Amino acid sequence: MADPASAPRPVPALLDSAAAEFITSGISINAAGARPGTVPSMARATGCRVAADARSVALLFASTPAAALLDDIRRSGAIAVVFSQPSTHRTLQLKGDDARIVPPAAGDAALAAAYVKIFTDGLTRLGYPGEVLRAVLAHDPGDLVAVEFTPLAAFSQTPGPGAGEPLVRA
């Protein structure tokens, strides 16, 4: 029997197909968590999947460098994620309060490897050293975990006049 707390919430999807494509396109993904009385934690994700119905998002993390974030998620379920395209600064923020750590799905190790290549290639074209980027994103595939959550709020965070505007549900 499935744990009702781990089942996706019956909320309308926040992400349309363009937003889902954007957040899974190999751009920068930084996630933050917190719990009362502590300093917020942050970690860089190494990939992203969006459920077929766009009602949930899964982020991939190397569990060792993301240990503080994962601990905050276990304790609070709160998560805020920023997806940003370095070449344009186009940025989308998602927030949720039901984040949970789950084993990676079949294909997630390949998804993470592809993410590292796409993200590194994009920043290398902007003049950043690829070897440094690969070192920052290096991970053991056996160390991968997924964090799934239901996006309850989404905001455009692209610098400019529309920054902070909420996205309308799909």
Q: Tell which residue, 84, 79, 59, has the closest CA to residue 69.
A: 79
> Residues of the chain whose pLDDT is less than 50?
1-5
Distance CA(148)–CA(157), nearest Å, equals: 22
Interatomic CA distance for residues 144 and 34, integer angstroms: 21
- pLDDT computed for residue 7 by the predictor: 56
Residue the block writes with tokens 């490897």: 113
CA distances, 43 to each of 4, 149, 162 (Å): 28, 16, 26
What is the pLDDT, as a whole number, of residue 4? Answer: 43
User: Residue 138 has which token pair?
Assistant: 């290096």
Which of 98, 83, 111 has its CA nearest to residue 147? 98
- Look at residues 163, 146, 119 and name the one whose alpha carbon lies nearest to residue 57: 146
Q: What is the pLDDT of residue 9?
A: 61
Beta bridge partners of 83: 29, 92
